[in-house]
Amino acid sequence: MREITYAEAINEVMCQEIEANEDVFILGEDIGIYGGAFGLTRGMIEKLGPEKVLNTPISEQAITGVAIGAALMGMRPILELQFSDFVTVAMDQIVNQAAKIRYMYGGKGKVPIVIRTPGGSGAGFAAQHSQSLEAWMAHIPGLKVVQPSTAYDAKGLFRAALEDDNPVIFYEHKLLYGMKDDVPEESYVIPLGKADIKREGKDVTVVATSIMVHRALQAAEELEKEGISVEVIDPRTLVPLDIETIVESVKKTGRAVVVYEAVQRGGYGAEIASVINEGEAFDYLDAPVVRLGGKAVPIPYNPTLEKKAVPQVEDIINAIKSTVVTYA
C-alpha cells in the first residue's frame, strides 16, 4: 500500500468527498492559493475551483455561522478553523447554535458540518496557538468530537464525520501532520465511536488520544524490555466514546492509565477514568486509575518548558510504572 502523510490523507478525503457530493464544500481562512496554514488544502482551489473552496475573511464567528446556516439548508460544509484556539471566537455559533438547533427545534432540521482544526503544542506557537480544548466540545450535548492519531484513521474518520448529520469537531494535531502511514487510495469509512487497539498487552491498559497515542506506543516498547506488557487503546472519537473496548481491556489487564495532552484538570481523561471506575471494570481493577494530562499552565514559548508542560514518553513510562509496580 502507499504511504502518505496525515495531512495528505485529509487533503485526499476532502477532495474525494467534494467531488463525490455536490453539497460538500470547504470554507476557511487562507485555504485558497495559500493552501491553508498547515498546507491541508494545498492544490484544492486549483483542482476544485473557488465555488467549492471558499477563502474567507478573518471572521471566525461569521464563517462558522455561515457553515451552520448552509448545513441547515441541506449543504454539508467543511470548515477549516486555522488553529483550534480560535474556537473561542466561534464559540457562540458552535455551542449555542450548531449543537442545539436540532434538539431545540423538536427534532426539526439538522446541522451536518465538520469543523476541522489543528490543536496541540510542540510547534513553538506559545499560549494562544497551542491549546487542546477538546474537553469543552465533548462537554456539549449535540457535538461529536473526533481526534484521529494516524493518517489511516484520519481519512476514514473524516468520511464518517462528513456523513454524520450532526456537527462534528475534527481535531487534528500539528505534530501529526507530517506523520506517514499506509493509506488506501479509495475512500473508506471508520465509524465514529469505534476505538482501536493500537497495541495488545496484558499488564496495563493505556488509553491515549491524538499525539499521546504515539508517545504511549513508544513507552510501551520501552517497558516491554522491562517485562511490562502494555495495551494501548486509542478511542479515536471522544463523543461517541467506545466504552466497551476500554472496559473489556481493563477487565483483562486490571490497570488503567489515561494519557492526554490537554490540561489534566477537567480534561476528557477524567471522563474516561470515571467510565472505567463506574462500570463493570471496577471489580477487575488492581490499582486506582491513573490520569496523566498536561500541567495547569498556558503553553509556554521556551521549547524546554513547552515540552515539560505536556506528557512526554518518560512521563508515560513513570505513570505506567506507578500503577504496575506500586500495586504489584
Ligand X SMILES: Cc1ncc(C[n+]2csc(CCOP(=O)(O)OP(=O)(O)O)c2C)c(N)n1
Residues in contact with another protein by the rule CB under 8 A: 29-30, 32-34, 37, 55, 57-62, 85-86, 88-89, 123-129, 295-298, 300-306, 308-309
3-class DSSP state of 300: coil
3-class DSSP state of 85: helix
* Cα–Cα distance measured from residue 265 to residue 292, given in angstroms and rounded to the nearest whole number: 10
Q: Which is nearer to another protein, 264 or 323 (CB)?
A: 264
Residue 82 contacts ligand X per CB under 6 A: yes
Strands (E), 18-137: 24-28, 53-55, 76-80, 114-119
Residue 58 contacts ligand X per CB under 6 A: yes
Residue 181 contacts ligand X per CB under 6 A: no
Single out the catalytic residue among 60, 134, 172, 231. 60
Residue 29 contacts ligand X per CB under 6 A: yes
Q: Which is nearer to another protein, 49 or 298 (CB)?
A: 298
What is the b/e burial string over 208-234, where b = at least 16 CB atoms within 10 angstroms of the residue's CB?
Answer: bbbbbbbbbbbbbebbeeeebebbbbb
- Centroid of chain to Cα 145: 7
Residue 138 phi/psi, 5° resolution?
Answer: -65, -20
Partner from ligand X, another protein, none contacting 295, C-beta within 5 to 8 A by type: another protein
* Cα–Cα distance measured from residue 246 to residue 257, given in angstroms and rounded to the nearest whole number: 11
Q: Which is nearer to another protein, 305 or 325 (CB)?
A: 305
- Among residue numbers 190 through 249, which ones bind ligand X (CB under 6 A)? none
Residue 60 contacts ligand X per CB under 6 A: yes
Residue 41 contacts ligand X per CB under 6 A: no
* Cα–Cα distance measured from residue 221 to residue 219, given in angstroms and rounded to the nearest whole number: 5
CB of residue 123 vs ligand X: minimum separation in angstroms? Answer: 14
CB of residue 44 vs ligand X: minimum separation in angstroms? Answer: 18
CB of residue 289 vs ligand X: minimum separation in angstroms? Answer: 37
Interacting span for ligand X (CB under 6 A) from 7-15, 81-89, 138-146, 282-290: 81-89
* Cα–Cα distance measured from residue 20 to residue 4, given in angstroms and rounded to the nearest whole number: 21
Whether 162 contacts 114, CB under 8 Å: yes
Partner from another protein, ligand X, none contacting 296, C-beta within 5 to 8 A by type: another protein
Q: What share of the chain is helix, strand, coil (3-state, %, to 5)?
A: 40, 20, 40
Single out the catalytic residue among 129, 173, 214, 231. 129
Whether 11 contacts 41, CB under 8 Å: yes
Residue 306 contacts ligand X per CB under 6 A: no
* Cα–Cα distance measured from residue 194 to residue 172, given in angstroms and rounded to the nearest whole number: 18
Would you call 60 a catalytic residue per the annotation? Answer: yes
Q: Which is nearer to another protein, 60 or 242 (CB)?
A: 60
CB of residue 296 vs another protein: minimum separation in angstroms? Answer: 7
In the complex, the residues that contact ligand X under the rule CB under 6 A are 29, 58, 60, 82, 86, 89
Catalytic site positions: 60, 129
